[in-house]
Amino acid sequence: MLNYRNVQIAKRIVLSCLALFMVTACSTVPNNRPETMVASPQVNNPNETLGGLIVQAAKSQMGIPYKFGGNSPSEGFDCSGLARYSHLINGISIPRRTREQFKQGKHINRTELNSGDLLFFRTMGQSVSHVGIYIGSELFIHAPNSRKNVETETLANPYYQKRYLGARRYW
């Protein structure tokens, strides 16, 4: 008998297999752009499994164009749309806008980041204006701006170091 929990577990397994297939299918194409190379998330305890699935959902959107207000692979993503989509596909509803995403969720210290945590930045104005999804190893995935597609970036980049505001967890 299928219940909601079993359906969600089955959905996560299918998405994980799909992500693995996509990674292996493209493994013969060389990637000469080091800034887009992604380390696999390190799942050190069972509580990080959902965070890893959130990362896999986001990684499967690599290369999708940026679109202001975008919420899906077919229309493109903005930063908060990618964060919301990656959570929703794993059964977690989070606010749509970056500011609300930052206000809600559990505060996480930078030294305690896990895969799937949301990272927030002040890239314009006086308040939070950008969000990315932490992958691990100081890397995150995001939809940066209208000139770029969904890609990975490092927290070591001085631009993001200077603008980092904090992290939140929704799982």
Dihedral (Cα; 77, 78, 80, 82), 10-degree rounding:
20
Q: Which of 26, 87, 107, 130 is catalytic?
A: 130
DSSP letter at 35 equals G
Residue type, 41: P
Q: Which of 26, 79, 87, 107 is catalytic?
A: 79
**Does the annotation count 107 as an active-site position?**
no
**Does the annotation count 130 as an active-site position?**
yes
What are residue 108's phi and psi, to 5 degrees?
-125, 130
**Does the annotation count 142 as an active-site position?**
yes
Q: Which of 17, 87, 107, 142 is catalytic?
A: 142
Strands 71-72 and 76-77: antiparallel
Known catalytic residues are 79, 130, 142
